[in-house]
Structure 1
Amino acid sequence: MDDISAKNIISLYQRHADIWDKLRKDQRFEQAWLDSFLSLIPSEGRILDIGCGAGKPIAEYFVERHFSVTGVDASEPMISICRERFPEQRWQVADMRSLSLNEKFDGLIAWDSFFHLTRDDQRAMFAIFEQHANPGAALMFTSGPGNGEAIGTFEGEDLYHASLAPEEYRALFDAHGFREVKMVAEDPTCAGHTIWLAQFKG
């Protein structure tokens, strides 16, 4: 698969942040999953949104429900939009692959961001998830339904995606202290997303 398209993900979202935001911000198809995620988090708990984009609709949903959000994204224009929209929350330009905040959170989410990483980078992310998780913390991310790579398009450019096999994600949960709560492959109620929800045993 094309290594160049994998390396260009950050640049793509930097250059097309405004267009992506306009397309994405008013969609709420993932609400049922967000509610399941929040059900595992203490009231007014702290959430780390990894690959937060421009903050809508996901971070916005958490803020509306009185959770504290720290959002990180490698696209500086996306973070700038977040800071304008939700100045009371914390936003940081950062590459998730090298994330080290020296803090722990009650929930970690990487929705439609984690699956842009190569498979090796996805494997390495589980140590980062573990590093930032309080005991009992919820973890939710989207992946592909099976092992492989795929190239989509956005604004006429290649858009890289990758996924591990379900059994490998489960092995990584075990290795890093998480237990699987729920997984649905290509959920028809959530725009065909494949979603993983887990909890850190601590």
Structure 2
Amino acid sequence: MEPSELGTKYDKIAQWWHDQHVRSAYGVNQFERAVEFTSGGGKALDVGCGAGGRFVRILQDRGFSVTGLDVSQEMVKLASRNHPEHHFIHQDICSWETEDKFNFIVAWDSIFHLPFVMQKPVISKLCQLLAKDGVLIYTFGNAQGEHTDQWHNDTFYYSSIGINENMQLLINNGLSIMHLELDQYPEKHVYTIATKP
């Protein structure tokens, strides 16, 4: 599934997503674990930021300025309205380019929607966007492959290079793996935290 098509699908459910997650505790414990690896403050990048909410608030409280990226125009509008002091961009991480380096990068439940062939390039890009001593947290599926699933009366695409390939890719890009967890077992949902020495 092309990211532009995914953006259109999320446009349709943006307000529902906002209402469900603006005060949600989903992923907060995992996210706060990652933030503990930072020295606090600096630039943060939220890939697939959605409507903003809980993660942006935590980063703001820790002194980070946030750049959010999402393929859904409606999500970006909501995030900009919710957090006018931060910067949100309607862009695809596959093609987005920046000269900035970030002290903290999160891609929570977002890059698993990317085309399978874009998994390695995008994860490598996130590694390269990290500043020295930066922290990366992202989620992925525990098995290699791609599939579609029905959700909100629509078809959504998912892909993953699996646990071993993700870990090897992080190591190859010079990162140190600090944490790996199947946090919703028996669901195939994995999150990892890595740092750039």
Q: State the Cα RMSD in Å.
A: 2.1
* Alignment CA distance shift 1:192-1:163 (3 Å): closer
Q: How does 1:41-80 map to 2 (within 5 A)?
A: 41-80=38-77
1:108 aligns with 2:133: no
Return the offset for 1:7. 6.5
Return the offset for 1:182. 0.8
Q: How does 1:117-132 map to 2 (within 5 A)?
A: 117-132=114-129
1:182–1:197 contact (8 Å) kept in structure 2: yes
2:38–2:135 contact (8 Å) kept in structure 1: yes
Any unmatched runs of 5+ in structure 2? Answer: none
Q: Partner of 2:180 in structure 1? A: 183
1:99–1:128 contact (8 Å) kept in structure 2: no
Per the alignment, in what secondary structure is the counterpart of residue 96 of structure 1? coil
1:126–1:176 contact (8 Å) kept in structure 2: no
Deviates more, 1:54-63 or 1:154-163: 54-63
Any unmatched runs of 5+ in structure 1? Answer: none
Between the aligned partners of 1:135 and 1:141, the Cα distance in structure 2 is 18
Offset from partner CA, 1:79-138 (integer Å, 9 cap, x none)? 111111111111111101112121001011100101111221111112311331101111
1:42–1:106 contact (8 Å) kept in structure 2: no
Find 2:82's aligned residue among 70, 76, 85: 85
Q: Find runs of 4+ consecutive structure 1 residues off by over 6 angstroms.
A: none
Return the offset for 1:141. 0.6
Give the percent of matched residue pairs that are identical in Structure 1 and Structure 2: 24
1:194 aligns with 2:190: yes
1:10 aligns with 2:7: yes
Q: Structure 1 length as normaliser, TM-score?
A: 0.89
Q: Structure 2 length as normaliser, TM-score?
A: 0.91
Return the offset for 1:186. 4.3
> In the alignment, residue 59 of structure 1 is paired with which amino acid?
V
1:141–1:195 contact (8 Å) kept in structure 2: yes
1:145–1:186 contact (8 Å) kept in structure 2: no
Q: Partner of 2:140 in structure 1? A: 143
Per the alignment, in what secondary structure is the counterpart of residue 108 of structure 1? strand
Query: Number of residues paired by the alignment?
Result: 197
